[in-house]
Amino acid sequence: MASPHAHTPLAARVEELLAAGGPLPIVTAGDPVLRNAAEPFDGQLAPALLERFVQALRVTMRAAPGVGLAAPQVGIPLRIAVIEDPAPVSEEVRLARGRVPQPFRVLVNPSYEAAGPERAAFFEGCLSVPGWQAVVARHAAVRLRARDEHGQDVDEVVTGWPARIVQHETDHLDGVLYLDRAEPRSLSSNAVVAARWAQPTPREAARALGFELP
Reported as a single tens digit per residue, the pLDDT across 36-90 is 999 999 999 999 999 999 999 999 999 999 999 999 999 999 999 999 999 999 9
pLDDT at 5: 42
pLDDT at 8: 63
172 annotated to a ligand binding site? yes
- The pLDDT tens digits of the residues spanning 104-150 come to 999 999 999 999 999 999 999 999 999 999 999 999 999 999 999 99
Mean per-residue pLDDT, 2-24 = 80
Among 84, 124, 169, 183, the one annotated catalytic: 169
7 annotated to a ligand binding site? no
Three-state SS letters, the chain: CCCCCCCCCHHHHHHHHHHCCCCCCCCCCCCHHHHCCCECCCCCCCHHHHHHHHHHHHHHHHHCCCCEEEHHHHCCCECEEEEEECCCCCHHHHHHHCCCCEEEEEEEEEEEEECCCCEEEEEEECCCCCCEEEEEEEECEEEEEEECCCCCEEEEEEEHHHHHHHHHHHHHHCCCCHHHHECHHHCEEHHHHHHHCCCCCCHHHHHHHCCCCC
Q: Is 39 in the active site?
A: no
CA distance 183 to 180: 9
pLDDT at 2 over 90: no
139 annotated to a ligand binding site? no
Which domains does the chain show, CATH number per domain? 10-209 (3.90.45.10)
CA angle 23, 3, 53 (to 5 degrees): 30
